[in-house]
Structure 1
Amino acid sequence: MTKISILGCGWLGLPLAKNLILKGNAVNGSTTSENKLSILKDAGINPFLVTLESEGVSESIQNFLNESEILIIDIPPKLRVDNPDSDKKVFVEKIKNLIPFIEKSTVTKVLFVSSTSVYGDNNDFITEETIPNPETESGKQLLLTEKILQGNQNFETTILRFGGLIGEDRHPVKFLAGKENLENPDAPINLIHLNDCIAIVEKIINESKWNEVFNAVAPFHPTREEYYTQKAIEINLATPKFSSEKTNIKKIISSEKIESILQFSFNLENY
């Protein structure tokens, strides 16, 4: 049995924790909401109220990390759209404040959930060898955080860069439905389903693939117009309308490394 701490039991972290428990692991899980502590406990997770701030970390962090071998960090930057300048480096500072506690704990391996947004919108076939060039503030902070974690010699860190996240209750077509004059009709999609996210994390842990960087995007890349039009029809939503005059992004994120090294097969029926 492996003891694992999951920092951030949200959309991905909670079902991931449940899956790891089913596989015989012990899981500490964190939330920033007192109301969610009972949900975690009912799921068999040892619950902790943990907050990271740019000024410090809540006292519960030591008990949260206690006796764990693996720490999974799954917290988004959550930058404010109305004033992004005020949020510059805030996420990075939060992680910097966390690191001394990791160093003092029993944690020897860290899995950091990042995003393919670190690559920006280059018109390229993108692999893990592609030099990141983030354009958004959140992408920039994720990349800085990746470098800080992988540069620390006190623990081994694997970076997992997910594409657009989808699941039964989460799909971008619900946001795009009925909208008009949408950009990039010919841009390929780069998505990953929640079930594949969980299965990949489990593979990394079981096969001890540390000090790695993995892109995690399903090898399924129809155009935005093709895919979202079809999805809208399938679930009886108004079809989105795209403008052929607004197109410039053609990037495809490759998951060849994750398929090869982890011998992982995506379940394309979910897409």
Structure 2
Amino acid sequence: MKLILVGAGWLARQLWQPLQQAGFTVCLTSRSVQTAAEFGTAGLVLPLNGDELQDQRVLQLFAGAVVVCLIPASRQQPQLYLSAVDALAALMQKAGSLACIHISSTGIYQGLTGLVSENSRLKLTDPRVKLLFEAELRLQRSRDVCTLRLSGLIGPGRHPGRFLAGNVSSDPDGAVNMVHSSDVAAFMLQVLQQRLWPAVFNLSCPQFCTRRAFYLKACADLGGPEPVFADKAAPGRQIDSSKSLQIAGFQYGCLSAIDAIASC
């Protein structure tokens, strides 16, 4: 099976090798010539400005492929993000791509409190939520899509001890929602092998862990200053990832976010 990772950022770099080792032919795309060149013959410059719809080489590459959308949802330029998503949707449709795996975010549950699942009613009056949801919808209209809503990403080169060191954090006894990149790769392999599309899944360490316990351990692990916790707790939310646990062949390597710190 041919895979195309659209976006060559940190997560794409974590996924590339496990997917190749599993036997998939993997191509990575970037708007940057320099970034694409880092991947040699597997790298492709793809500006997603509409011109690719006329490029037979690009259309041939995307034909029959599973496309992994890793385009970052920019807070500063939301319309540019949606334009890139629209361009990718049009490309997949014209090329006849097999399916899409969309890397979304549990930020889509912003404004909600308590335990939230894939079926929770979203607060679409929030601009960030509306942006993420609109991107999901636009891709889902073009092809069968497996949407992966990821909690905070941690892994090699992305140590959580740097997130809050010496800074103030609210809701110290609330849930911390994190997922290790290796678990994202493991779940994606099951999506590909079982063709789990269309579907929506939350990916987050399933065992409850407080923000206080997590960030104290993470900062201590790096030997940095401890975070400061506000006296007043703010209402928080916990991501329910139980749906992902129902998929045969998958289990989290990091059941708790604290377990994941050692692998960062």
Contact (CA 8 Å) 2:64, 2:96: kept in 1 or not? yes
Deviations 1:22-60 (A, max 9, x none): 22211221012222233212xxx621111235xx45578
User: 1:78 is matched with which residue: 37, 51, 74?
Assistant: 74
Q: Distance in 2 between matches of 1:100 and 1:168?
A: 34
User: 2:45 is matched with which residue: 46, 49, 68?
Assistant: 49
Deviations 1:188-235 (A, max 9, x none): 101000111111111100111010000000113321112101221222
Paired residue for 2:242? 256
1:102-121 alignment, distance < 5 Å: 102-121=92-111
Instruction: Tell me which moved more, 167-176 or 60-69.
Output: 60-69
Q: Distance in 2 between matches of 1:202 and 1:60?
A: 32
Change (3 A) 1:61 1:126: farther
Q: Tell me the CA shift for residue 133 of structure 1.
A: 2.1
Instruction: Tell me which moved more, 30-39 or 224-233.
Output: 30-39
Q: Tell me the CA shift for residue 136 of structure 1.
A: 5.6
Q: Tell me the CA shift for residue 261 of structure 1.
A: 2.4
Q: Distance in 1 between matches of 2:75 and 2:134?
A: 15
Q: Distance in 1 between matches of 2:53 and 2:93?
A: 16
Q: Tell me the CA shift for residue 169 of structure 1.
A: 1.2
For 1:71, what is the secondary structure of its paired residue? strand
Q: Distance in 2 between matches of 1:37 and 1:63?
A: 16
Q: Tell me the CA shift for residue 99 of structure 1.
A: 2.0
Query: 1:19 is matched by which residue type in structure 2?
Result: P
Contact (CA 8 Å) 1:31, 1:49: kept in 2 or not? yes
User: 1:96 is matched with which residue: 77, 81, 86?
Assistant: 86
Matched, 1:237 2:231: no
Change (3 A) 1:103 1:229: same
Change (3 A) 1:126 1:158: same
Query: 2:156 is matched by which residue type in structure 1?
Result: E
Aligned alpha-carbon RMSD (Å): 2.1
For 2:104, what is the secondary structure of its paired residue? strand
Query: 2:240 is matched by which residue type in structure 1?
Result: S
Paired residue for 1:83? none
User: 1:173 is matched with which residue: 155, 158, 161?
Assistant: 161
Matched, 1:183 2:170: yes
If the length of structure 1 is used for normalisation, what is the TM-score?
A: 0.86
Unaligned runs of at least 5 residues, structure 1: 81-86
Aligned sequence identity (%): 24
Contact (CA 8 Å) 1:48, 1:60: kept in 2 or not? no
1:1-271 alignment, distance < 5 Å: 2-41=1-40, 46-53=42-49, 56-58=50-52, 63-65=57-59, 66=61, 67-80=63-76, 87-133=77-123, 137-152=127-142, 155-179=143-167, 181-245=168-232, 247-268=233-254, 269-271=259-261
Q: How many residues align?
A: 255
Unaligned runs of at least 5 residues, structure 2: none
Change (3 A) 1:123 1:50: same
Change (3 A) 1:62 1:236: farther
Q: Tell me the CA shift for residue 15 of structure 1.
A: 2.8
Q: Tell me the CA shift for residue 100 of structure 1.
A: 2.0
Q: Distance in 2 between matches of 1:263 and 1:18?
A: 20
Contact (CA 8 Å) 1:115, 1:139: kept in 2 or not? no
Q: Distance in 1 between matches of 2:44 and 2:85?
A: 18
Query: 2:3 is matched by which residue type in structure 1?
Result: I
Contact (CA 8 Å) 2:108, 2:129: kept in 1 or not? yes
